[in-house]
Copies of this chain bind each other. A is one copy, B any other.
Amino acid sequence: MKVALAQLNYTIGDIEANKIKIIECVNRAKAEGAELVVFGEQAISGAPAYDLLNKVTFLELCEEALVEIASYCDNIAVLVGLPIQCENRTISAAALIENRKIVRYIGKQTVVSRDEVRHISPSKGCEYVKIAGKKVAVVVGEDILVEQEYGKYADLIINLALTSYSRGVIEKRYEMYRKLAFTKGKDVAYVNHVAGQTDIVYDGSSAAFNSRGEAVVLLNNFEEDFQIWDTNYEYTPLEIPYQNKTVNVYRAIKLGLRDYFVKNGFGQACLGLSGGIDSAVVAALAVEVLGPGNVRVLLMPSQFSSDHSVEDAVALAEKLGIEYETVPITEIYKSTIYAMAPVFGDTPFGVTEENIQARIRGMLMMALSNKYGHILLNTSNKSECAVGYSTLYGDTAGSISIIGDLYKSEVYDLARYINRNGEIIPANTIEKEPSAELRPEQKDTDALPPYDVVDAILYRMIEEGQHREEIINAGFDADAVYKIYKMVLKNEHKRFQFCPVLRMSTRTFGKGRIMPLTNKYGY
């Protein structure tokens, strides 16, 4: 059987556009002689649609689109995903179309994604259908993870997927399907989405494996793709390509950022350039995605900013060819301190005064954003968010954070990758010691170990869920571990109000990792 695998980029709620894309692929599949064309889970609606999934009109529009898609399906079978209403609940189903008729719905049983539970109800799960003489096990979404005896009921397994990108997931996913094909002795194919949907990136990476567990068709990562898989053809097995973590993160961020702008109809981005590594990486990525004419930056030095910071920021802006303006914050800072003098009395300079600087910068960036409709890109990283080295409403501000799920050391990796063909981010920005420059001679290492050590501890704590004692036993300094643990726990309230963060892990703050704001547990 010739099966077309259509890995597309859908927009949530743009049912009309999604439908047109699907119909185009149906036509292409017919033209290329396919007997079946497969789309992703919830392709017609786009995903995750959250509470839209519980609106009757929304589900009706999805169904109407399905009916129209069916009218194009002469001489070809189609498996396409959509949410449907079923006994007053919404389920995620694959619709099987044959001879222009919707002949069957196969529902998803395993509803486990935090973005779906409470919006989607479990249905029956995997069903077996006959398509073009072949027995096909149709599996929707995470049902593929459920152990099943496919046995003699199935010649092949087809999975309409919806699985998002996170660090290391692509290789794990390939391996999971490879193993499934091998252990079940069945041909297996899955079709994923490829899209940025606000904070989520779907990476595509759809594939087909033969019954020996060999990859026979591999679709692109992070790009739309369409390929024909002939189950009767004896393919030369493909090698699963090596996945470079930094390259994948780079591509995931670019897709996420691009789609955030395209799908929201946004034109230009803005951000504050400090001369530091974080804003440099965000600016460079924004220019790659949106073009230098669509990125506008402000330099907002205070009395504590070093000359080299301003120089590094200017060098970067000039290298990137973007518009930059310098708006010193010193006078605003002074007028703020002056206005608050009766309240502050003779209290000494401290965190309050540091935060005021960060908040003035946030206010100026939002003013630029409000005035010209530029979209403010947040420039915080995950290490800072974790330990609370970020000012609420200052560093946490933005429309979207594109590096907020990357540890500081990963931001450096990205910077070096961006410079792979020549210096874009100034060498000095990469090499100098990080500093928030909110007080004289401040260094990020004043109160904590160097970032690579902090990151290693944070990674074990947050990504691996290790206890303090496990981390200490692994050889880390006990005082540092205790201190970092405490800092992470007591800064949950800042993360609660953080802007949306492009998810690059399964432990993105606020989404993959949720802690009670009020709790007395300290381990």
Residues of A within 8 A of B (CB): 11-15, 17, 46, 48-52, 54-58, 112, 114, 117-118, 197-199, 259-260, 263-264, 298, 325, 327-329, 331-332, 334-336, 338-340, 342-344, 347, 350-352, 355-356, 359-360, 362-364, 366-368, 370-371, 392-393, 396-397, 399, 465, 467, 493, 496-500, 513-523
Contact = CB atoms under 8 A, between A and B. Distances in A.
Contact of A518 (B57, B198, B298): B198
18 contacts: A11-B518, A13-B521, A49-B521, A52-B521, A57-B467, A114-B118, A117-B118, A198-B517, A263-B518, A327-B340, A327-B342, A332-B335, A336-B364, A336-B367, A340-B368, A343-B371, A355-B366, A396-B497
B498 A50 contact: no
- Which one of A117, A344, A350, A497 has the highest number of Cβ atoms from chain B below 10 Å of its Cβ? A497
A299 to B, nearest CB: 11
Given A342-B327, A499-B496, A260 B48 contact: no
A496 to B, nearest CB: 6
A517 B500 contact: yes
Contacts of A328: 339
B343 A370 contact: no
Given A264-B518, A352-B371, A370-B355, A336 B332 contact: yes
A334 B54 CA distance: 48
Contacts of A58: 521, 523
A260 to B, nearest CB: 6
A518 B335 contact: no
A266 B323 CA distance: 45
A499 B497 contact: yes
Q: How many copies does the complex hold?
A: 2
Pairs A-B, 5 closest by C-beta atoms: A13-B521, A14-B520, A13-B519, A352-B370, A12-B519
A356 B117 CA distance: 39
Contacts of A49: 516, 519, 521
Contact of A516 (B197, B396, B496): B197
B343 A368 contact: yes
A392 B396 CA distance: 11
Given A13-B519, A359-B366, 11 more contacts: A12-B521, A17-B520, A50-B516, A55-B467, A58-B521, A197-B518, A343-B371, A350-B371, A359-B359, A359-B393, A363-B393
A354 to B, nearest CB: 9
Contact of A362 (B352, B393, B493): B393
- Which one of A199, A335, A368, A518 has the highest number of Cβ atoms from chain B below 10 Å of its Cβ? A518
Contacts of A51: 513-515
Contact of A339 (B260, B329, B340, B352): B329
Contact of A500 (B260, B334, B496): B496
A114 B329 CA distance: 43
Contacts of A397: 392-393
Nearest to A119: B514
Contacts of A499: 496-497
B523 A55 contact: yes
A296 B112 CA distance: 45
Contacts of A263: 518, 520
A172 B371 CA distance: 48
A343 B332 CA distance: 15
Contacts of A260: 518
Nearest to A399: B493
Nearest to A14: B520
Given A118-B112, A465-B54, A367 B355 contact: yes
A132 to B, nearest CB: 35
A14 B347 CA distance: 35
A5 to B, nearest CB: 25
Contacts of A392: 366, 397
Given A343-B327, A363-B356, A498 B500 contact: no
Given A331-B335, A367-B336, A13 B50 contact: no
Given A343-B325, A363-B336, A518 B12 contact: yes
Nearest to A359: B363
Contacts of A14: 519-521
Nearest to A11: B520
Contact of A46 (B112, B396, B467, B519): B519
A515 B360 CA distance: 30
Contact of A55 (B338, B465, B514): B465
